[in-house]
Amino acid sequence: MKTRIAFLSAPVFILAAAFLLPSSAEAQRGGRTSGGGARTAQNRPRANQGHIPPPPAARSNPSEGRQAEHLPTGHVNEVPHVNHNQWFGHEQPGDARFHMDKPFAQGRFAHSGVKYRYQVTRIDANRHQFWFPGGRSFEVASWDWPLCSDWCWDCGDDFVVYDDADHPGWYLLYNVHTGVYVHAQYMGM
């Protein structure tokens, strides 16, 4: 009788293990799906009231300075970020740091905007470069690197790329979980 119970227990154990292993593997990925799967609650945007913002509009007044967010508490947030779909902390169009003799020298990044969310497949922090699937690479502006050096670059589909309407040749890399954005140049494939 004991042999028979052990024999029946083994298939039940194997069946239970088959159902539990995918759950533990999913937990190790933080509940995220790989590839084009459905988004889980953990991978939904946390910033900007849980929504990916529309692209920033070009400024109508080029001399308009950097706009900070004035909080109800009296604090001022000057970090480049998005809140309530409003882009704060963006430098004015005439800022010399953004001048390029040949904008888009490596070509244009075709898949930018709210329809496209990306995960980083590789990061070279020393060179401030990162890669998306397919080998498309970007380089973060050196003056913006301190804003993003501590981001979780390999945590999943956490980034949206926008054209920078005020600075030709530049893109805005938006972190959907922190709400912060940085300037980056497309380096090609």
pLDDT tens digit string along 89-144?
Answer: 988 888 899 999 999 999 999 999 999 999 999 999 999 999 999 999 999 999 99
Residue 17 lies in a domain: no
Nearest-Å Rg of the Cα atoms of the chain is 22
pLDDT in tens, 66-80: 889 999 999 999 999
Residue 156 lies in a domain: yes
Residue 184, pLDDT score: 98
Residue 19 lies in a domain: no
Residue 6, pLDDT score: 45
The domain tally of the chain equals: 1
Q: Give the residue with greater pLDDT, 8 vs 76.
A: 76
**φ, ψ dihedrals at 85, nearest 5°:** 65, 15
Residue 8 lies in a domain: no
Task: Report d(CA 181, CA 88) in Å as an integer.
Answer: 10
pLDDT band with cut points at 50, 70 and 90 for residue 29: very low
Is the pLDDT at 48 greater than 60? The verdict is yes
Q: Give the residue with greater pLDDT, 114 vs 44.
A: 114
Residue 174 lies in a domain: yes
Task: Report d(CA 108, CA 124) in Å as an integer.
Answer: 22
Residue 41, pLDDT score: 53
Mean pLDDT, rounded, of the chain: 81
Residue 155, pLDDT score: 85
Residue 126 lies in a domain: yes
Structural domain including 72 reads: 45-188
Residues 142-162, mean pLDDT to the nearest whole number: 93
Residues 26-41, mean pLDDT to the nearest whole number: 37
Q: Which residue has the tokens 């042999």?
A: 3
pTM for the structure as a whole:
0.77
Residue 2 lies in a domain: no
Residue 28 lies in a domain: no
Q: Give the residue with greater pLDDT, 187 vs 25.
A: 187
**67-78 as b/e, with b when 16 or more CB fall inside 10 Å?**
eebeeeeeeeee
Bridge partners, 137 (sequence order): 131, 188
Q: How far is CA 102 from CA 15, 99, 107, 169, 185, in A?
A: 61, 9, 10, 8, 12
Residue 94, pLDDT score: 81
